[in-house]
Amino acid sequence: MSNMSNAVVVGTQWGDEGKAKVIDYLADRSDLVIRFQGGANAGHTVIANRRKFIFHLVPSGIMYPDKVCIVGNGVAFDAEQFLKEVDELDACGISVAERLFVSDAAHLVLPYHKSLDTASESFMGKEKIGTTGRGIGPAYSDKIFRVGIRVGDLVDADRLTEKIKNGFERHRALAASIYKADFPLSLDEIIHRYAAVRQRMLPFIDDTAFRIFEAYSKGKRLLFEGAQGTFLDIDHGTYPFVTSANTVAGCAFTGSGIGPAAIDHVIGIVKTYTTRVGNGPFPTELDNATGEMLRKEGGEFGATTGRPRRCGWFDTVMVRRAVQLNGLTHLVLTKLDVLNKLEEIPICTHYEIRGKRLERFPSNAALVSEAIPVYETMPGWKSDIAQCRSYGELPLQARTYIERIREICYNIPVLIVSVGPERRQTIEVTPLT
Ligand code: IMP
């Protein structure tokens, strides 16, 4: 893969497609790695040099000592979590000095946002979204309501204290009056904690939109790291069972401050089965022993919350929609090895809703919950593919499965097939040009 130019990587399902591994792999050919949306709700697992790291905010490219990593303005930024990750990296001898920057325009997630997230979820009871509890919804609400606190506000200590006071009072009043909930933390404690956070954050704060533009102008290669997945997008996902940000590729521009012409490739990460964590419709869900087997073989437990993920068959109706919404130019197929033991592998080709055949993913989540998946069945390969290192080494049935997915998903070229969590378990199929 020689001419790696600028690319955005996004999830095509409900998140947890294995984006971090692919970002880590592609980062080798990039100069800047940029997070542009989401927050510490994401859990990006990278396994390198036999060590496992779970990043929530630091871009996965940080594992390479020569890469510049940027947290863009579109991110809901939990500074305490970020500093924890910086400390963990430091403890492993990975220095971030002068190569990790956070946009001054990113909005802070404060402890009271997390309290409100939890209070709102318990108030909703059965109707709850099943959030990660990381304060994402309340922090983005503040941003849109124009009362948020931005990373740039950390620079002025007095103004910061004033803003935290106002934010705390507003959220406490909301929690008490609507949700009848108390806050576990006092204002003094938050102010005290943020005095330390502020000091430590100062070297990271930057006009990252300018830094990205400057790098782009000099021909540096940019890699945009998406979080969550297409169907958790606030506009295009299964609303209201979504996150509070756009997750589709278009958000890479607004969330980082560069124009659309900067992107050459839009790479969609596709898990070769489907998972979802949290509530909401899931047409191909397997609430049985096969679902349990996928969960076990795939280690399908949330990287952020540890919750068991719901598992189901591959759904081409969804992935076709993801191709459209993101303008995908390439697919990366992940976790193919999880299917090793299966005799047969069903692929959902279309839905039936109210007796009608539907090949298009409905934009209305209520209709999605009525969808009956219709499958075609592919033969399994029933062998261990974790050691395969080239496309040709894959069993014929595995290649046929890949080709069929590609064919149904508008014939988008398959860039990479991943057969295990390690860097070396990555098969390049089509070169990026
Ligand atoms: P929130 O983003 O914490 O508000 O959660 C909203 C929904 O998005 C819930 O269903 C979460 O489980 C889901 N979600 C948020 N982040 C991720 C992620 O990184 N992977 C998978 N699901 C996520």
Domain tally, the chain: 2
Question: Which atom of ligand 1 has the smallest separation from the CA of 277?
Answer: 12
Percent of the chain residues topping a pLDDT of 70: 99
User: Tell me, what CATH number does 303's domain have?
Assistant: 3.90.170.10
Question: Ligand 1 center to residue 239 CA distance, Å?
Answer: 12
pLDDT of residue 1: 42
Q: Which of 201, 234, 268 is the last residue of a domain?
A: 201
Place of tokens 């990460």: 269
**DSSP string of 78-137?**
-HHHHHHHHHHHHHTT---TTTEEEETTSEEPPHHHHHHHHHHHHHHGGG-----SSSHH
Q: How far apart are CA 206 and CA 210, in angstroms?
A: 9
420 phi and psi angles, rounded to 5 deg? 170, 170
Question: Ligand 1 center to residue 276 CA distance, Å?
Answer: 9
Query: Do 127 and 276 reside in the same domain of the chain?
Result: no
User: In which domain, by residue range, is 147 found?
Assistant: 107-201
Question: Ligand 1 center to residue 183 CA distance, Å?
Answer: 23
* Mean pLDDT over each residue of the chain, to the nearest integer: 95
Tell me the average pLDDT across 367-384: 97
User: Tell me, what CATH number does 133's domain have?
Assistant: 1.10.300.10
pLDDT band per the 50, 70, 90 thresholds, residue 4: low
Q: Specify the residue with its C-alpha closest to ligand 1, atom 19.
A: 42
pLDDT of residue 269: 98
Q: How many CB atoms lie within 10 A of CB 356?
A: 7
pLDDT of residue 306: 87
Question: Which atom of ligand 1 has the smallest separation from the CA of 16?
Answer: 20
Query: Do 152 and 279 reside in the same domain of the chain?
Result: no
pLDDT per residue as tens digits for the range 6-17: 999 999 999 999
Pocket test of ligand 1: the residue of 16, 117, 228 to mutate, having most ligand atoms within 8 Å of its CB, is 228
Q: Is the CB of 109 under 6 A from ligand 1?
A: no
pLDDT per residue as tens digits for the range 349-365: 999 999 999 999 999 99
Q: Which of 201, 219, 250 is the last residue of a domain?
A: 201
pLDDT band per the 50, 70, 90 thresholds, residue 2: very low
Query: Do 236 and 358 reside in the same domain of the chain?
Result: yes
Query: Do 189 and 296 reside in the same domain of the chain?
Result: no
Question: Ligand 1 center to residue 167 CA distance, Å?
Answer: 24
Q: Which of 201, 226, 254 is the last residue of a domain?
A: 201
pTM: 0.96
Query: Do 75 and 113 reside in the same domain of the chain?
Result: no
Tell me the average pLDDT across 163-172: 96
Q: How far apart are CA 270 and CA 15, in angstroms?
A: 9
Is a pLDDT exceeding 80 seen at residue 202? yes
pLDDT per residue as tens digits for the range 137-156: 999 999 999 999 999 999 99
Is a pLDDT exceeding 90 seen at residue 159? yes
Question: Which atom of ligand 1 has the smallest separation from the CA of 137?
Answer: 4
Query: Do 222 and 269 reside in the same domain of the chain?
Result: yes
Query: Do 31 and 58 reside in the same domain of the chain?
Result: yes
Query: Do 184 and 242 reside in the same domain of the chain?
Result: no
Q: Is the CB of 129 under 6 A from ligand 1?
A: yes
Question: Ligand 1 center to residue 57 CA distance, Å?
Answer: 14
Q: Is the CB of 227 under 6 A from ligand 1?
A: yes
pLDDT per residue as tens digits for the range 15-51: 999 999 999 889 999 999 999 999 999 988 887 777 7
Q: Is the CB of 266 under 6 A from ligand 1?
A: no
Query: Do 79 and 118 reside in the same domain of the chain?
Result: no
Pocket test of ligand 1: the residue of 10, 37, 41 to mutate, having most ligand atoms within 8 Å of its CB, is 41
pLDDT per residue as tens digits for the range 313-327: 999 999 999 999 999
Question: Ligand 1 center to residue 264 CA distance, Å?
Answer: 28
Query: Do 261 and 304 reside in the same domain of the chain?
Result: yes
pLDDT per residue as tens digits for the range 67-85: 999 999 999 999 999 999 9
Would you please indicate which residues are annotated as catalytic (active-site) residues? 16, 44
Q: Specify the residue with its C-alpha closest to ligand 1, atom 15.
A: 41
Strands 205-206 and 100-103: parallel
pLDDT of residue 195: 97
Query: Do 185 and 332 reside in the same domain of the chain?
Result: no
Q: Is the CB of 7 under 6 A from ligand 1?
A: no
Q: Are 81 and 49 in contact (CB under 8 A)?
A: no
Percent of the chain residues topping a pLDDT of 90: 90
Q: Specify the residue with its C-alpha closest to ligand 1, atom 9.
A: 131
Query: Do 385 and 286 reside in the same domain of the chain?
Result: yes
